[in-house]
Amino acid sequence: MAEELQSTRYLTFCKTTEVFAVDVSRVREMLKITSITTVPQVPGFQGGKV
């Protein structure tokens, strides 16, 4: 009996030196970033508001 192989596709992206991957079934939309607005008094790991 033949074994059925399943594969999962991932969306990958980089932020500075880190690489992240998300299962494509969890992605609702992809937006082109035009500019990021800095938000005062937020932790440094939050880049800002798109």
| Maximum pairwise Cα distance, the chain | 61
pTM score, two decimals?
A: 0.52
At 25 the pLDDT is 94
Of 4, 22, 5, the closest CA to residue 13 belongs to 22
Q: Is the dihedral of CA 33, 36, 41, 44 positive or negative?
A: positive
Q: Is the pLDDT of residue 50 over 70?
A: no
User: In the prediction, which pLDDT does 1 show?
Assistant: 59
Q: Where are the domains of the chain?
A: 1-50
pLDDT tens digit string along 1-48?
567 878 899 999 998 899 999 999 999 998 887 887 888 888 877 777
